[in-house]
A and B are shown apart, each in its own frame.
Chain A
Amino acid sequence: MYEKNGEKYFVVDSHSHFWNAGRDNWVPGAEHYAKGWIDCFYGYHQLGPPETHWDYEKFLRPTPEDVERDVFVEGHVDHTVFQSTYLREWYRDGFNTADQNAALLEKYGDRWIVNGRWDARDGEASWTEFTEDHERFGFKGVKLYTAEWNGDSRGYKLTDPECYRFLERTQELGIRNIHVHKGPTIWPLDKDAFDVADVDHAATDFPELNFIVEHVGLPRIEDFCFMAVQEPNVYAGLSVVVGGLMHARPKMFAKVMGELLFWVGEDKMLFGGDYNIWTPKWQVEGLVDWQMPDDEQFADYAKLTTATKKKILGLNAARLYDIPVPAELRLDEAAGAMA
């Protein structure tokens, strides 16, 4: 919970990590990929305020104590959703596996939501691993990294037949939230793994599932927005939008937020701090303080109400994840309508 000027904000960080990118976890022969990957993240890390920058060695492998302090003690976060990303081609024990989260789960219970992952290209072995993890962690969501390397494959689409079957099975398990990474342009060969057309297709065919497009498909934000206005079950994950732009490029941040508010709307935007690329504290505080500038170039973008900020910072995600919100932190219908 974060309180400012008498207003209380329920904070759900819908996109965070607890990774192990330490050198001893780099796959022999693929060290340059493992290093290149975390170096990309470290580049993004530099886009936050200088006083929040970490030493590179610390950045490689945060400790449970780091997470506790940065997320729950200082970060104002009530509940956080950890997104599993395996990248086993480069990281021996995986980059950010569900298993790594176990220690924190013990300590933080239901404040620590762990999402699973599967890779339909691995067939039944992946499904078995996923369902075993689901038994342990009780997944409410999955993270799909459509650009993940896997043998000769440099990415997949949600519309691939085997992936469709896995989505059906995920739905049968009662898991509703599908986080799809559609982010800054990286690595697939001629395929554009961040083209959002596959989400469009899947969202239509699986109306019971929620599709949260992480990083709002930033290299293709226009494609994402055109799709999201048509699909009621498509949401905008704001990770990278806040962390990468709010401090480094405030004018561009205002334009991107203005476009998202216009096209996608305040009920379908979810704060994500992308820990530990960035810590949540400055992002939460910054968003609460933030307002669309008065400058003429932003004149036809909507101003944010307090209700808008409360929805984006936590209430929207709480709804998707069935997280109970204390009465004093809810937005009653009347306040929402007045806002």
Chain B
Amino acid sequence: MNDLRARVWRALDTVLDPELDEPVTGLGFVESCAVSGDGVATVVLRLPTFFCAPNFSFLMVADAYDAVSAVAGVTRADVTLADHHASTEINGGVAAQSGFVGAFAGSDQGEATAELDELRRRFFRKAALAGQDRVARSLVDGGAGPDELAATVLGDVPASAELDRMRHRRAVLGLPHGDDAPLLLHADGTGVTAAQVPLHLRRARLQRVGIEANGAYCRDLLRTRYPAVGS
């Protein structure tokens, strides 16, 4: 059973906060995770504030439900969000597999009007840009200039978790992600020219700072809200 719980936890490792581009496990968003003898996985998520946006919150609960349900040996997934202004709608919607729009149908919180696929893609695009700063930074620090950086392809870059992560984001978005794909890429999938490199890198770094600043706030507010748990 402990083994099954470990696999459920690993499944939760794949669930991202879409805005922060980090797993809910590392962010401390998993309040509890338990698996019963007959394979019922009970997971409770929690967030940094009572008013965390319902769209992101819904994505995380729904993704956690899908990830946990898919673990071999889990007979039923019971995934809920605690202490949130839209817990009732989100938990009910995820349990009923009714989608985001269905979850809020008839709610006194108002109606959702669209599913969240585009929202997810939007944050993946941001993550793919921020990833370029993370991967290129060591090359820049090593003295690589604009010409060299514009000519660098993913196959030239030393293996790293960051590189894998960026490839995955690009693959989901349908952007070039093979060994021959340029390291520096515009949002439309075209390569960055040497002349464009300096501004492009500044944009990539700004994107990274933005995402990481959000992450810092979320961690700090979560710790304020649930002090007993520590980090």
Contact = CB atoms under 8 A, between A and B. Distances in A.
Contacts of A256: 209, 213
A152 B206 contact: no
Given A39-B50, A152-B110, A185 B56 contact: yes
A314 B120 CA distance: 39
Contacts, number: 113
Interface stretch (B161-169, B170-178, B188-196, B220-228): B220-228
A36 B51 contact: yes
A186 B51 contact: yes
Interface residues of B, number: 39
Contact of A225 (B48, B50, B206): B206
Contacts of B132: none
B49 A40 contact: yes
Contacts of B124: none
* Band of interface residues on A: 35 or more
Contact of B213 (A36, A37, A153, A218): A218
B126 A222 contact: yes
A169 interface: no
A244 interface: yes
Contacts of A187: 51, 53-54, 85
B151 interface: no
Contact of A189 (B54, B205, B221): B54
A188 B53 contact: yes
Interface string A9-42: 0000000000000000000000011001101100
B110 A154 contact: yes
Contacts of A56: none
B51 A37 contact: yes
Contacts of B202: 262
16 contacts: A36-B49, A37-B50, A39-B49, A40-B221, A185-B19, A187-B85, A189-B109, A190-B55, A218-B210, A218-B213, A220-B210, A249-B220, A252-B213, A255-B209, A256-B209, A263-B206
Interface of B: 19, 48-56, 85, 100, 104, 109-116, 119, 126, 202-203, 205-207, 209-210, 212-214, 216-217, 220-221, 224-225
